[in-house]
Amino acid sequence: MATTVETEKLKEVAVRIREMRDISGYSVSEMAKKTEVTEEEYRAYENGETDFPFTFIHKCALAFGIGITDLLEGQSAHLSSYTVTRRGEGQETAKEDGIEIKNLAPFFRKKIAEPYWVRYEYSEDLQDKPIHLAKHSGQEFDLVMKGQLKVQVGDHTELLSEGDSIYYNSSTPHGMIAVGGEDCLFVAVVLPGEDIEEKVVRSSLVPNVLPTHKTVGEQFVETKEDENGLCTGISFKNEDKFNFGFDVVDAIAKRSPDKLAMLHIDRNKVERRFTFNDIKRASNQCANYFKSIGIKKGDRVMLVLKRHYQFWFSILALHKLGAIAIPATDQLQKHDYEYRFESAGVSAIVCSTDGDSANQIELAEASVGRLDHKLLVGGSREGWHDFDAEYPLYSAHFYRTEDTPCGRDPMLMFFTSGTTGYPK
C-alpha cells in the first residue's frame, strides 16, 4: 500500500512540474540545462518514471520562481508570522538511498531561506569512493547534530563532528557522506542566490596563537592585527640592511639548525632532506667557491639548473656574494643564449648536464665571445668547472662584511617569455 501511495505522489509532482514548464514556456532542453541533468534524465523525472533527487526539485522550484511546497503539495505556503515543526515532523522533500530530507518550514510564506532536517545513513561502501558532488545556486549552512559528516566543497574536504558547522557557496560542487561508523543527523539551511561558481577559499575559525618567541622577520617587518589576529596592515623597516641569505636562511639555521628546509626528490626518485643548517653550510661553500674562481659582487651569473637542489645552493651563494642571479630555462637554444649574454652582460653560468644546454652555450660563445666562468652540475665536460666535485672542497663559513649586498643592491634579473619578440 505504501509503495502505491508513494508512486501516486511521485506522479502528482511530475504532473505539476510538467504543467509549470508549460506555463513558464520552457522547452525540455531548457529545463534540462536549468536543472543540470541530461534531456533523457529530465524526461524520466517529468514522466514520473523515476524518483526525484532533492537537488532536482530545488532547481525546478528556482526555475519556476515558486516554493518547493508548491511543487510537492500543489499549494502555496500560507503562514507568515511563525511556524513550529515538532520532532519527527516536517515535509519529506527527498528520500534517496541512504538519505532522508525534511523541510522544517514548508508552510511559511516568503522565506528567505529553506531549513532542512537531514539524515545520512552510514555506508561502508562509500568510505573509499569519491564523494558524489552536486551544485545549486545560493549558499548553504550545515550544522551537525549527531555523528560525523565528511563534507567536500570543490577540492577541499572537511570532517565535521557534533556541534561543528560549515557555510559555503552552494554553486560550488559539493557533497557529503556520513563517517565514523554511524548515521549522521544535521540541519541544512539553503539560501537562494545567483548561480555563480566561486573560487573556494578555506576559512576555519581557530584560536589565534601568538608565537612565544620573536620571528626572524620581526627585524624587518611590522604588522598590525585586529582583535581576531587578522592582519590589517604591513610595513617594512631596515630594508637597507636586509640580505635574504643571511637574514632569513642563516637566521633560521642559527635558531633551528635541524628544521627541515627542503625535501628534494629527483627524477630517479632519490630523496634528499636538507635542514636549514645544511643549506647554510652548502651555500657558504658555494659562495667561497664562486669567489675563488673570480665571481664577484655585481657580476651577472646565469643559472640553468632546472629543479636541481644545487639551484638553491647557488642562488643563495650569489645573494651572499652580491653577484646577480639570472634564472633561465633549459629549453634555450644558441640564439637565445647569444641574446641574453649580450643584453645582460653575463660573465658566468652554472648549467645542468641534462639535455643539450651545455652544447648550445658553447655554440653561442663562438659568436659572442667566451664567458669568464662556466660551471657544470651533474657531470664533467672539457672547458667547464665540475661544480659537484669542487664546491664541497671549500669552507662552510662565509662571513658578512661591510661590503655585503643589501637594501637596493641588485639581486635578481629576469627575462620575459618573449612570446611576441625577443624577451626583455
* 396-407 confidence digits (pLDDT tens): 999 999 999 999
What pTM does this model have?
0.53
- Residue pair 314/348 in contact (Cβ under 8 Å)? The answer is no
- Find all residues with CB under 8 Å of 194, minimum gap 6, and list them: 137, 171
Which letter, b or e, does each residue of 23-50 get, where b requires 16 or more Cβ atoms within 10 Å of its Cβ?
eeebeeeebbebbebeeeebebbbebee
Which residues, including other chains, have CB under 8 Å from residue 343's CB and lie 6 or more apart? none
Ranges of residues in the chain with a pLDDT under 50 are 1-5, 78-79
What pLDDT, on the 0 to 100 scale, is given for residue 4? 42
Show the domains of the chain with their CATH numbers. Answer: 1-76 (1.10.260.40), 79-198 (2.60.120.10), 241-393 (3.40.50.980)
Strand partners, 302: 326, 349
What's the pLDDT at 231?
84
In sequence order, which ranges of 219-274 are alpha helices (DSSP H)?
Answer: 244, 250-255
Q: Tens digit of pLDDT for each residue in 342-396?
A: 999 999 999 999 999 999 999 999 999 999 999 999 999 999 999 999 999 999 9
C-alpha 91/C-alpha 85 separation (Å) is 9
Contact 92, 63 (CB under 8 A): no
Residues 406/240, Cβ–Cβ less than 8 Å: yes
Q: What is the rounded distance in angstroms from the CA atom of residue 300 to the CA atom of residue 316?
A: 14
pLDDT, residue 166, reads: 96
Instruction: For residue 44, give the 3-state DSSP assignment.
Output: helix
The per-residue pLDDT for 2 is 35
Q: What is the signed CA dihedral for 39, 44, 47, 51, rounded to 10 degrees?
A: -130
HSE, side-chain direction, 13 A CA sphere, residue 164 = 15
Q: Which amino acid is at 57?
A: I
